[in-house]
Structures are given as structure tokens and as C-alpha cells.
Amino acid sequence: MFPSGSGPDLEFSMHDGTIRDLAFMEGPESGGSILISAGAGDCNIYTTDCQRGQGLHALNGHTGHILTVYTWGGWMIASGSQDKTVRFWDLRVPSCVRVVGTSLHGSGSAVASVAVDPSGRLLATGQEDSTCMLYDIRGGRMVQTFCPHSSDIRSVRFSPGAHHLLTGSYDNKIIISDLQGDLTKQLPQTVAGEHLDKVIQCRWHPHDRTFLSSSADRTVVLWAPGP
């Protein structure tokens, strides 16, 4: 049971626009108590120590609304923005340590979702032009872009073993892409589920191949794909 009360335990008001995404920094260094929040307005990423109830950093650099944040490795943050870039941030600095554009050619696209695989080696993006990008973090190079969907991709997540990539889109579909082969070649893809309206978020179970999806059709569905 969650404790009931008349008000919030902590309330933060540093943002001056819509807050689009939240994440906790996981790892022994932070103890899971550092909150990462980002969105519109000043386009800053704010870090907050929830145990002390105190703001730590305002990370600036994006020039468009921030749509997504992802944390890994105890110190690292990836953020995606309407400015068509992904930025990597290191809280030990704390500052932006790399900027990645979203297209080898052309103008790129707003980044609606980002995820990093459990090894910290591979970034995946979901973009508003229906493309995904795979980026080699350690090598500092784009591996490939591909189009698993026909509309905005709002959610990307690696499976626990990083063998598969789960994507959810405004085309109502959930796609699983197989990452076990050559990542520079065309990836095998399976339609793992479909909603009656836009898919908003998808999340793997932490230990097996089942996953959840939420949709504008006002449902949350638990899926169990075949072997």
C-alpha cells in the first residue's frame, strides 16, 4: 500500500514549460535518488537530488523542446529534442559531451524517444519522420537508419539482453526488430501487436520477452510474443 496524504512529499517548480519526460538516475553513485526532468520552455534538463529536495544542475544546449530522456551507467543521460539532435550528458562534468544529428543526408527529424542498450554501447532513436537510428556510442558513428513504421515513432526500448528492439508508433503498430545479426544490414522485423489508435509507450518486462504497450485507444495491453 502507498501511504496516503494531503499533499506531495516534494514539489519542484524549476521548469517554465511543459515537462515532457522524467527519469531517475540509476546506479550505486546516486542511489536512485537523482531525478532527471526535461521538456519545453527554456529547453533545459534539470537534475534534482530527491533525498535532499535540492536542485543540482540545469543542463542547457538544446534549441528545441526536449521530448525524451534516458539514463544509464550511473552518470550518463541521453536526450532527444525537436531540434533534431540527440545529446549525451555526463553528470560528472556536468555538461554535454556529444551532439548527434539524426540523418546522414537531409534535414533530420525531431527525436521523440531514445534508449541505450544495457552494455552502454548502442543508442536507438525513434523519430517523428517514422525512422529509427542506431548509433555506436563508443565508436562515435551512425550504424544505420531504418523505417519500421509509417508514422511518428514515440517509443523505443531494447530488450533486456539487447537482442531485440521494441518500437511503438502513431501508425498503431508495435514492431520488434531483431538485432542479433549484422546491424549494418536490413533488420528482420515482426509486427508484435496493433492497437486501434496511436501507440504512446512500450516497455519490456525486465526479465522475459513479454512487454506492455499503452495507446490513445485508452488501453494498456500485455503482450507475449512467440519464441
One pLDDT digit (tens) per residue for the chain, 227 residues: 455 555 557 777 788 888 899 999 876 566 668 899 998 889 999 999 888 888 888 999 999 999 999 999 889 999 999 999 999 999 988 889 999 998 655 568 999 999 999 999 999 999 999 999 999 999 999 999 999 999 999 999 999 999 999 999 999 999 999 999 999 999 999 999 999 999 999 999 998 889 999 999 999 999 997 66
Q: Among all chains, which residue has been given the C-alpha cell 515513432?
A: 153
Longest dimension (CA), the chain: 55
Please give the pLDDT value at position 33: 83
In the chain, the amino acid numbered 199 is: V
Q: What is the per-residue pLDDT for 109?
A: 92
Residue 35 to residue 50: CA distance in whole angstroms: 7
Gyration radius of the chain's alpha carbons:
17
Look-up of cell digits 532513436:
125
**What's the 3-state SS for 145-159?**
EECCCCCCEEEEEEC
Tell me the one-letter amino acid at 66.
I
pLDDT on residue 28: 57
* Cβ-based neighbours of 20, under 8 Å, separated by 6 or more: 38, 39, 40, 65, 66, 67, 68
Decide if 151 contacts 194 (C-beta within 8 A): no
Question: Are 174 and 167 contacting, i.e. CB atoms less than 8 angstroms apart?
Answer: yes
Per-residue CA distances from 191 to 50, 52, 170, 197, 201 (Å) = 40, 45, 14, 15, 16
Residue pair 210/202 in contact by the 8 Å Cβ criterion:
no
With H, G, I as helix, E, B as strand and everything else as coil, classify residue 58: strand
What's the whole-model pTM score?
A: 0.90
Q: What is the pLDDT of residue 225?
A: 76
Give the pLDDT of residue 21: 94
